Structures are given as C-alpha cells and as structure tokens.
C-alpha cells in the first residue's frame, strides 16, 4: 500500500472490497482524488513567500518632519476657489469612467488569451475579484460599526495603528465620497485613544507626498493656417484634471477651434473653445486623461491657445488632509493628538507644497492654532518661512499698482493665518517672543523707511521742516 495526500492505494492499483473481490482503480480517478484533497498547510516562511500582493505598502516606521528654512514660491498662483462645487459630480463621473475602462481592459485580455492559458488567468481574475469584494464588505462593516464596540488593532488584526490610516487611504480610492466620510467618522469615534496619535502622524506623512502634477500645452503664437493637431495630457492617478487658460487665449471665432474631451473619440465631456479672451473659461474634467484637438482654416490667425493642466487628488495627500481635518473637528479626538508634532509636520508641508495643497495645509494650521493650549503649545516660530513669503507678497502688492484689487487665495490665507496666530500668541503671553522670532533685518529696515516717509509727508502737510524732510530731500 502507498499513501498519496491522505489517500491509501495499493501499489498494484487494486482495492479489496468487503466481499473479498478486488476493485481495480482507474488511474484517472486516482489523479482526480489527489486534486480534490485539501492542500497541505504551508509553513510560515512559505506563506510569506506566497503572500498575495494587496497593492498596500505599509512603511515599518514613521519618518520625522524635515526642517524648512525657506518656503517654495508659487510658480503658478491659484486663482480659482479652493473647493470646487462640482467635486462630487466629478468623482462619480470618474468612477463610471474607471469601471468602463476596467471592463473593456478585462474583455480585451480574456479575448487574447489562449484556451489553455485562460483557466489560470481566470483564477487570478477571480482572486482579484474576491479581494475587491472583501474590501467592499469591510468598508460596509466599518460604515455601520456599532458605537459600543471599540475599533482596535486586535479586532481588525492590524500590524499597528498606522495600518488603519493605510486602510482609510484604500477606501478613499475605492468607495464613494459619502460612504468614505461615514467610514472615517465611525473609525475615529470608535478608535482606541492610544491609536489616534500614530494615525494622525501617518496622515501628516501622507501630506508630505507630492500631491500635484502640472503640465502646460500651447500653440505657436500666432498659430499657423490649416492646422489639424491632436494630442493628449495623461497624469496617472488623478481623479480629475483642472484646466486653466492663459488670459491671452484668442482664435478666429467660428473658424479656428480647440476641442477638449475625456475620451479619444471626443464624445464624453466635450468642451469647445473659439474666439476672444472672454470665451475661454476654466473648467474641470473627470478622469486622468485630457484629449485635445486644434483645427484652423486658411484665413486669419490670432494669438492661439495656452492652458495649464493640474491633477486633482493625486497620491495620498487628499487622504491625509481629510483624516486630519476630521480629527481636528472631533472634540473627543483632539485631546489625544500630539498637536505640537502635527504642527511641525504641517508647517513643513505648507512651506514645501504649492497651489491647492499649500492652501489646505494652511487650513489645518488655522484649526490647530485655535485649539492649542499651554499644555500642548506649538512652536509658533516655525512660521518664519511662511512669514517671509507673506511679506514678499505684501511688498509686491504695494509696488505693482496694476494688479487687481482682489487678493490671491494664498495671500488671503496667509493673512488670516498670521492674524489669528498673533491674537493667539497674545492670549498665551507669547506675543513679544513671537514677533521677534518672525521679524527679519530687512523687514525692520523697510518699516523704518516707511515710518520716515510718513513723518516727512506729515511735516510737508503742516509746513514743518525737520530731519525727516531733509533726509528725503523734501522742501517745506
């Protein structure tokens, strides 16, 4: 007798029945019997070697925030509003677009597989589908998590508190916005207090990742006659693309046209632009790819077109922002957060990031300023690079009288940040140290020069000569 995977067979291929007769076992039956047996349990090292790739890379430890001495200047200042009113519609449209692309890709792959290879390929597809459905089930479970049961590392078998932040990021990409917000609220309200600090620092680390990619496309200025040019802008990972036109955009109306769409056949989300500057309105497009086509006839030509494409929700930045925003609005959560460390992270983010990312980091800094106390005092002196950026914007505003009267969003955000922070420093008895830490020699010289100019102007008005008027060569 020989034993194969738990089944005993005689070596000659026959089995004795109860009545004494022999029953010959067909070789095919023996083969099938081996296939039907449960697979042997893998050793621990084999299990780790055959682990399923879940596209989730969890860093073993949290990094420390890097010190920033100078804030990055804005190369393409944001002029639009911070939060778009069409964001939810864009996400829904992108979700439908992504599902249709996935279905088409799967159909194409199955058609190109041979009959022999398709069985193994279907096994991999089924495994991926099972993982996807398991994630949806976990999302539904967390969205309806009972309030009396804590969300702990043991229950969810997490590798650590930061693991929960990575799971939330996965749901951010997988679920609809309203479902993800519900999951986030349930998790934060049910998490053990010891998990909150590490989760917040992991979210800060997410915000350090580059969250924006910008590409510029333009025609010749002026463009050529009889043009028929077609191209695309692809930014992998973007949920939507924000398109901003140069103020000089101008083509022959009705004859020379720029068409834009989210599909290569120019049937989905199509936008057409032609004519004077007033006809070129900024807009947002769902998905990660913009297709555009420019055509001109053989008559007049104008300046042409130029547009900037900015990716929305690229990487984990948005996940970190949403988690921290919700944490800082929960009264139960705030006392258990390391606000000083979060502040240090976010100041660095506000210094290094630009555009919408910088505005969102400043939004979180404002929330921290309003809720910090003596016990969790933040280092307000870290704001010096942002203060220097703010003063540069102030000086350029005074020097360039051709700029419009409405301040840019970044200028408004920094104005509010330093106004609120100064009041908070005064309440905490730190105003003098705070102002001295932010002030530079250049700023003091500018203030002294402005004061002397003011004195000279007043002296001139009252016909009273003094050192100020002599210094500025003003005769009363």
Kindly report, residue by residue over 359-412, the tens digit of the pLDDT: 999 999 999 999 887 767 788 889 999 999 998 888 887 766 555 567 888 999
Q: 417, 366 in Cβ contact below 8 A? A: yes
Is residue 141 located within the same domain as residue 204? yes
- 301 & 155 share domain: no
Question: How does DSSP classify residue 113?
Answer: S
Residue 345 lies in a domain: no
405 and 422 Cβ atoms separated by less than 8 Å: no
146 and 259 in one domain?
no
In the chain, how many domains are there?
Answer: 4
CA atoms of 358 and 474, how far apart (whole Å): 44
3-state secondary structure of 151: strand
Res 2: pLDDT: 43
Q: What number of other Cβ atoms are within 10 A of residue 226's Cβ? A: 9
**30-77 confidence digits (pLDDT tens):** 666 565 555 554 444 444 434 444 556 676 666 777 778 888 888 766
308 and 273 in a common domain:
yes
Q: Which of 245, 277, 312 is the last residue of a domain?
A: 312
Tell me, yes or no, whether 102 and 9 share the same domain: no
User: Do 207 and 98 share a domain, yes or no?
Assistant: yes
pTM over 0.85: no
Same domain for 148 and 260, yes or no, is: no
With respect to residue 123, please indicate whether it lies within any of the assigned structural domains. Answer: yes
Q: Are 186 and 261 in a shared domain? A: no
SS3 of residue 238 by DSSP: coil
Would residue 295 count as lying in a domain?
yes
In a domain, 47, yes or no: no
Query: Residue 421: inside a domain, yes or no?
Result: no
* Residue 429 included in any domain: no
| 240 and 112 inside one domain | no
Query: In this structure, are residues 336 and 193 in contact, taking their beta carbons and an 8 Å threshold?
Result: yes
What SS3 string covers 437-451? HHCCHHHHHHHHHHH
Residue 195 belongs to domain spanning: 88-211+315-337
pLDDT in tens, the chain (476 residues): 444 444 444 444 444 444 455 555 566 666 665 655 555 544 444 444 344 445 566 766 667 777 788 888 887 665 544 444 455 566 666 666 667 767 776 777 677 765 656 677 778 788 888 888 999 999 999 999 998 999 999 999 998 999 999 999 999 888 888 899 999 999 999 999 999 999 999 999 999 877 667 899 999 999 999 999 999 999 887 778 889 999 999 999 989 999 999 989 999 889 999 999 999 999 888 888 999 999 999 888 899 999 999 887 656 888 999 999 999 999 999 999 999 999 999 999 999 988 888 999 999 999 999 988 776 778 888 999 999 999 888 888 776 655 556 788 899 999 999 999 999 989 888 888 888 888 877 777 878 888 888 888 888 888 888 877 776 665 54
Same domain as 236, residue 93: no
Task: Note whether 276 and 231 are same-domain residues.
Answer: yes
Q: Is residue 413 part of a domain?
A: no
Rounded Cα–Cα distance for residues 238 and 314 (Å): 5
Residue with tokens 């980091």: 361
Residue at a domain's end among 277, 295, 312:
312
- Which CATH number fits the domain that encloses residue 234? 2.60.120.290
Q: What is the DSSP string of 374-431?
A: STT---GGGGHHHHHHHHHHHHHHHH-TTS-SSPPHHHHHHHHHHHHHHHHHHHTT-H
Asked if 224 and 189 sit in the same domain, the reply is no
433 falls within a domain:
no
């Amino acid at each position: 007798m020989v034993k194969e995977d738990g089944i005993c067979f005689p070596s000659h291929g026959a089995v004795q029945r109860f009545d004494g007769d022999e029953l010959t076992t067909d070789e095919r039956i023996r083969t099938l019997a081996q296939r039907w047996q449960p697979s042997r349990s893998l050793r621990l090292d084999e299990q780790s070697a055959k682990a399923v790739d879940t596209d989730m890379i969890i860093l073993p430890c949290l990094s420390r925030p890097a010190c920033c001495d100078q804030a990055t200047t804005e190369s393409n200042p944001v002029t639009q509003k911070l939060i778009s009113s069409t964001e939810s519609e864009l996400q829904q449209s992108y979700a439908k677009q992504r599902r249709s692309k996935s279905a088409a890709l799967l159909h194409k792959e199955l058609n190109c597989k041979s009959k022999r290879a398709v069985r193994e390929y279907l096994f991999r597809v089924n495994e991926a589908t099972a993982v996807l459905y398991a994630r949806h089930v976990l999302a539904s479970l967390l969205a309806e998590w009972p309030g009396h049961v804590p969300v702990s590392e043991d229950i969810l078998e997490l590798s650590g508190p930061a693991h929960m932040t990575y799971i939330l990021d996965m749901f951010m990409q997988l679920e609809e916005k309203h479902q993800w917000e519900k999951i986030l609220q349930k998790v934060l309200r049910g998490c053990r207090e010891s998990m909150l600090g590490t989760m917040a620092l992991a979210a800060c680390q997410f915000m350090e990742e580059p969250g924006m990619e910008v590409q510029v496309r333009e025609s010749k200025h002026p463009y050529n006659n009889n043009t028929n040019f077609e191209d695309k802008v692809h930014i992998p990972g973007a949920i939507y693309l924000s398109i901003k036109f140069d103020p000089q955009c101008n083509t022959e109306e009705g004859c020379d046209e720029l068409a834009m769409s989210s599909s290569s056949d120019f049937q989905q989300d199509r936008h057409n632009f032609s004519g004077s500057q007033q006809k070129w309105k900024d807009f947002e497009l769902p998905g990660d790819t913009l297709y555009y086509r420019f055509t001109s006839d053989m008559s007049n030509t104008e300046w042409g077109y130029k547009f900037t494409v900015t990716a929305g929700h690229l990487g984990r930045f948005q996940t970190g922002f949403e988690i921290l925003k919700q944490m800082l609005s929960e009264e139960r959560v705030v006392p258990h957060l390391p606000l000083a460390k979060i502040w240090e992270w976010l100041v660095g983010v506000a210094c290094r990031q630009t555009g919408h990312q910088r505005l969102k980091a400043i939004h979180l800094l404002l929330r921290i300023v309003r809720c910090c106390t003596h016990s969790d005092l933040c280092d307000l002196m870290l704001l010096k690079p942002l203060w220097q950026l703010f003063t540069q914007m102030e000086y350029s505003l005074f020097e360039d009288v051709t700029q419009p009267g409405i301040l840019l969003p970044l200028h408004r955000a920094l104005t509010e940040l330093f106004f609120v922070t100064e009041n908070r420093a005064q309440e905490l008895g730190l105003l003098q140290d705070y102002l001295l830490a932010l002030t530079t020699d250049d700023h003091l010289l500018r203030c002294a020069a402005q004061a002397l100019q003011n004195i000279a102007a007043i002296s001139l008005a009252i016909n009273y000569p003094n050192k100020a008027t002599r210094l500025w060569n003003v005769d009363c």
